[in-house]
Structure 1
């Protein structure tokens, strides 16, 4: 099986209103890099790909058979506090303040302007999840 570089076996794909703004949010809030953008004849985004760390996310302008549909994502970052500050500065709303969790993560949550929930998580221990 061939999977293109930067993609995983499962790749998040978002249908959103204002795909351009959503791509900008991913870049500014989570340090993403836009790697590809294709547009429709009307100028709206047909597909935009943004790489965050080792994962590529895709998004399209919602419409027709594909209305806007939010999802929840678990995002590993180097610094949960700094990532939370950037996400809030880019218009996300607080769901859960960053705190140390009993399973070895420092984690908080935000909801972006498109309704997506982002669990921003920094792993504190170099060990798999499991009983303490």
Structure 2
């Protein structure tokens, strides 16, 4: 690893972390807490209007941030690859809490059991379990 990346990172943060600007952060945060057991670690709000300036969430061992879309920080959509023990259970939870189904759980040719959902902010989530204990290129 390049030495430039050998620096302090708060617990739960990797070298690269997601940061979303969304139109309705409260809705997305509630969805993530309910569907994926997200833990809210920190929240700061704009004292003038109460908008979410920054929320740090942790899902499993990974942290990422969410803010209210505003000004030059436009609403954005992205995709996440989420590793879980039980794809079917988490897929069902996500749908119960408002996700749209992109595809139902299935065993894939690349040896993952996987489903696809779209969260209330329009982000894609590939909910996956590796069916073998080896990497994708092994």
| TM-score, with length taken from structure 1 | 0.95
Q: Which runs of 5+ in 1 are unaligned?
A: none
- Structure 2: how far apart are the matches of 1:70 and 1:39? 22
Give how far 1:17 is off. 1.2
- Alpha-carbon distance between aligned partners in 1 of 2:51 and 2:43, rounded to the nearest angstrom: 10
- Once residues 25 and 10 of structure 1 are traced to their aligned partners in structure 2, the CA distance between those partners, rounded to angstroms, is 23
Does residue 28 (structure 1) correspond to residue 34 (structure 2)? The answer is yes
Runs of 4 or more, structure 1, over 3 Å off, are none
Per-residue CA shift, 1:26-46, capped at 9, x if unaligned? 111111111111100111100
Matches within 5 A, 1:1-132: 1-41=7-47, 42-130=49-137
User: Structure 1 residue 21: deviation in Å?
Assistant: 1.4
Equivalent residues, number: 131
8 Å contact from structure 1 (residues 76, 121) kept in 2: yes
- Between the aligned partners of 1:111 and 1:118, the Cα distance in structure 2 is 6
Partners of 2:70 and 2:53 in 1: how far apart?
11
Paired with 2:120 and 2:39, the residues of 1 have a C-alpha distance of 19
Structure number with bigger Rg: 2
* Separation in 1, partners of 2:101, 2:134: 28
Distance in 2 between residues matched to 1:113 and 1:20, nearest whole Å: 11
Alpha-carbon shift at residue 20 of structure 1 (Å): 1.3
- Unaligned stretches of 5+ residues in structure 2: 1-6
What do the CA deviations read for 1:33-76 (whole angstroms, capped 9, x no partner)? 11111100111100001100110020000011111110011111
